[in-house]
Structure 1
Amino acid sequence: MDIRKYLDSTYLKTNSQASLDESENQVVAQFFIQEAIEEGFKLIMIRPDRVSLAKKMIVEANSKVTIGTVIDFPEGTSSIVKKLDEALECIQNGADELDYVCNYEAFKSGDVDLVKNEILKGTQLGLDNNKIVKWIIEVAALNDVQIAELTTLIKNVVVLNFKADTYSSVFIKSSTGFYKTENNLPNGATVASIKIMLQNASPLPVKAAGGVRTYKEALEMIELGVQRIGTSGAKAIVNGEETSSRY
């Protein structure tokens, strides 16, 4: 099975996270973009400040690779105004998909109205501009009940406020891949968390991000029902190798 169409090849490390200076990290980002073009992956997921670079390289290569970027990454605690401003700038720079980090901390503290408002407005901005929207819920920060409840909340906001033909353009996504866990516990998608999301997300699609390191694991996620997989080891996975990346 050729799983390239499911893979969002991902590079989201800042200079400090990569232990590189700006020019060195730019080279790494260019490598990932070029690899996505050559391998024909579904999408290259890149930080907002590199969307213009990705757009330029993809246009010059006459490639069909689409561009995704992350909004309010990785904490998700910024105001909805800041989220929308960042998203709009990314749209203007050529992004095709917007992966917002949901304010899961607000959700955990009981501020459900804040979360509903950002889901509504962030989704509206994306759909109004014909973009795919994803909401990252950060499963490693939630227990099983919270995963189910937050997934359901997002689903309900979308179903109540948008037309059925837009549902396939609004994903619920498991993880940033950058959440710090204790005792080296998984910080990304697990089979258990993805099953809970899938049980509560329909009719919205689900994206598994972080923790998928082999072709076998990717295939398992696809067979469970996920429609997209985010990984910084996309080429290794396609080649049947195991990626050492935590994302």
Structure 2
Amino acid sequence: MDVRQYLDSTYLKTAEQAGISDARNTAIVSQTVQEAIDLKFKLAMIRPEYVAMARKMVEMANSTLLIGTVIDFPFGSAPLEAKLSEARKAIADGADDLDFVINYEAFKKGDVASVKHEVAEATALGLKSHKTVKWIIEVAALNDLQIAQLSALIKNVVFSNFKEEHYQSVFVKSSTGFYETPEGIPNGATKEVVVIMLENACPLPVKAAGGVRTFEEAEQMIQLGVKRIGTSAAKAIAEGGASDTDY
């Protein structure tokens, strides 16, 4: 199985988080994008401040690589207008995919109306600009019932507001990779979590992000039915190996 067209090769650390200089962090982003171009991955997923640089690299290489970025990352708690403003800037800079962190804390507190409004408005912005929109629900912050309910909420908002032809452009995505869990507890995609998402988001596609570090794990996710895999181990996975990266 050629998994490369399922892989969103990902690097989302700030220089501070990585404990390195801004220049070194920029170099890692550039390396991530170039590697994705060379290995023909589906997409490179990077922070918004690097999108314009990555777009130039893709154009210079005459590559089909997609550029994705994260919006309201990693907490998802910003006001809707801040989310939309960040997304507009990413679109202007050349992003193809917009991965929004949903306001999962508002959802957990029962403010379902505002979450539905957020999904409708931000999805509309992305689709109007012919972008792929992904909603990160942060599964490690939710129990199984909440994962099912939030996946279904996104699906139902899409059903109510957009045409069937747009369904495949709106994903439900598992994780940011930055949620802090107690030692040893997964904060990304597991088989059990992905099955819940697939069952409740269908026919919207699902992206498994976080925790997929080997070819075998990627293959399992694809066989389950995911359409994208977000991982910082894309090169190792594509080469049939494994990685000890933290996403």
Normalised TM-score (structure 1): 0.99
Paired AA for residue 141 in structure 1: A
Partner of 2:58: 58
Query: Quick one: distance in 2 between partners of 1:29 and 1:134?
Result: 21
Normalised TM-score (structure 2): 0.99
Query: Quick one: distance in 2 between partners of 1:221 and 1:107?
Result: 27
After superposition, residues 99-138 of structure 1 pair within 5 angstroms as: 99-138=99-138
Paired AA for residue 238 in structure 2: V
Single out whichever of 188-197 and 235-244 deviates more from structure 2.
Answer: 235-244
After superposition, residues 9-88 of structure 1 pair within 5 angstroms as: 9-88=9-88
* Correspondence 1:2 to 2:2: yes
Query: Quick one: distance in 2 between partners of 1:201 and 1:59?
Result: 34
Query: Quick one: distance in 1 between partners of 2:39 and 2:178?
Result: 25
Partner of 2:188: 188
Query: Quick one: distance in 1 between partners of 2:184 and 2:220?
Result: 23
SS of 2:118 mapped into structure 1: helix
SS of 2:68 mapped into structure 1: strand
Note the C-alpha offset of 1:83.
0.1
Note the C-alpha offset of 1:30.
0.6
Query: Quick one: distance in 1 between partners of 2:112 and 2:181?
Result: 24
SS of 2:211 mapped into structure 1: coil
The alignment yields a C-alpha RMSD, in angstroms, of 0.5
Query: Quick one: distance in 1 between partners of 2:227 and 2:33?
Result: 21
SS of 1:70 mapped into structure 2: strand
Percent sequence identity is 60
SS of 1:189 mapped into structure 2: coil
Note the C-alpha offset of 1:241.
1.2
Partner deviation per Cα, 1:121-158 (whole Å, 9 max, x = no partner): 00000000000000000000000000000000000000
Structure 1: which 5+ runs fail to align? none
Partner deviation per Cα, 1:79-101 (whole Å, 9 max, x = no partner): 00000000000000000000000
Query: Quick one: distance in 1 between partners of 2:24 and 2:206?
Result: 34
Partner deviation per Cα, 1:31-67 (whole Å, 9 max, x = no partner): 1010000000000001000000100111111111010
Note the C-alpha offset of 1:22.
0.5
Query: Quick one: distance in 1 between partners of 2:223 and 2:69?
Result: 26
Q: Which consecutive aligned stretches of 4+ in structure 1 deviate over 2 angstroms post-superposition?
A: none
Note the C-alpha offset of 1:162.
0.3
Query: Quick one: distance in 2 between partners of 1:218 and 1:27?
Result: 27
SS of 1:230 mapped into structure 2: strand
Paired AA for residue 143 in structure 2: N
* Correspondence 1:147 to 2:150: no
Query: Quick one: distance in 2 between partners of 1:143 and 1:20?
Result: 35
Query: Quick one: distance in 2 between partners of 1:245 and 1:83?
Result: 29
Query: Quick one: distance in 2 between partners of 1:179 and 1:241?
Result: 26
Partner of 2:156: 156
Query: Quick one: distance in 1 between partners of 2:246 and 2:158?
Result: 31
Paired AA for residue 217 in structure 1: E
Partner of 1:231: 231
SS of 2:183 mapped into structure 1: helix
